[in-house]
Amino acid sequence: MILITCANGKLGERVVRNLLDRADAPAIQVGARSVERIDARLASRCAAVTADYDVPASLAAACEGIKTLVFISGNAGNAVRIPQHHAVIEAAKDAGVERIVYTSFSNPVATSRFKLVQAHVETERALAESGIACTILRNGIYASNLEGFVGNALKSGVLAMPSAAAKICYSGHDDLAEATARVALEAGHAGQTYELTGSEPLDAGDLAALLSEVAGRPIISADIPLGDFRAFLGTLGLDDAAAADLASIYSAAAAGEYATPHDDLARLLGRPPIAMRDYLAALTSTEG
């Protein structure tokens, strides 16, 4: 039995769909903090349980009888997320889970300029010490993080982004979910760490050029100063510390932390990951 946590999230839901759509679909259990927000059609095809990272008893119950745990990282700040992730690992250990597939993030090192990556540094360390066989998936920056910037660019003709000159190898949710499902189901991945980046290092100028092609009109790029971006995050309701933590991903990008493409995603998928031109074309058609 495979348990997928955060099964109501964008990544978790796609992992579940991938597993259920396979001809050799395994028995799966879907877990979430908010079970009622798991897609009803998916939930009807498997067991759905509460798996709240803040409630150890729910994790203990969810992990019972589980062989493989697809542990999707939570989304709180480090001070909350690190103990949450320890609780997941403890529950898995107590329940005798045989393997954990963990969704980490690119460049999980203590010296990273991206503050929130410390939760992944600590979780990878705790997993290594747990004695449980693990597969670490270091997901690259989601292409979906571009949605707001692209939506604005299609209206204004200017793709304005923080750290506009930074090259980033974006990866798409669909590709990451398919790779995660394969790794969870197939043998031979225990003890492995995969760098799941896209294959194209692109800065805002490169993205604007692709966007111009797919939208059929000129779109230029521009830089958003990091201070302005932090202030914008504040208007969305984040306090100063949370905004600084989130925005620090662009300091890390500017330092080149996400500029190196890896071929692990293509190898796991058995095909190239989505081309960013195709990703932007699909986004452009939905954004209008």
Strands annotated E in the chain:
2-4, 28-32, 47-50, 68-71, 99-105, 133-139, 158-162, 168-169, 193-196, 201-202, 220-224
By C-beta, is 81 or 99 nearer to ligand NAP? 81
By C-beta, is 72 or 154 nearer to ligand NAP? 72
Please give the angle made by the CA atoms of 126, 33 and 245, to the nearest 5 degrees: 60
Distance CA 2, CA 91 (A): 15
Tokens of 197: 């980046």
By C-beta, is 34 or 156 nearer to ligand NAP? 34
Q: What is the dihedral of CA 65, 68, 74, 77, to 10 degrees?
A: 100
Closest approach of Cβ 216 to ligand NAP, in Å? 28
Distance CA 159, CA 4 (A): 36
Closest approach of Cβ 187 to ligand NAP, in Å? 25
Closest approach of Cβ 155 to ligand NAP, in Å? 24
Closest approach of Cβ 114 to ligand NAP, in Å? 10
Binding site residues, ligand NAP, CB under 6 A: 6, 8-12, 32-34, 37, 52-54, 72-75, 84, 103, 105, 139, 141-142, 145
Closest approach of Cβ 147 to ligand NAP, in Å? 11
Distance CA 43, CA 34 (A): 12
By C-beta, is 53 or 279 nearer to ligand NAP? 53
By C-beta, is 39 or 64 nearer to ligand NAP? 39
By C-beta, is 8 or 215 nearer to ligand NAP? 8
Which residue's CB atom is positioned nearest to ligand NAP?
A: 9
Closest approach of Cβ 237 to ligand NAP, in Å? 15
Distance CA 71, CA 195 (A): 17
For residue 217, count CB atoms less than 10 angstroms from its CB and return exposed for 0-12, middle for 13-18, buried for 19 or more: exposed
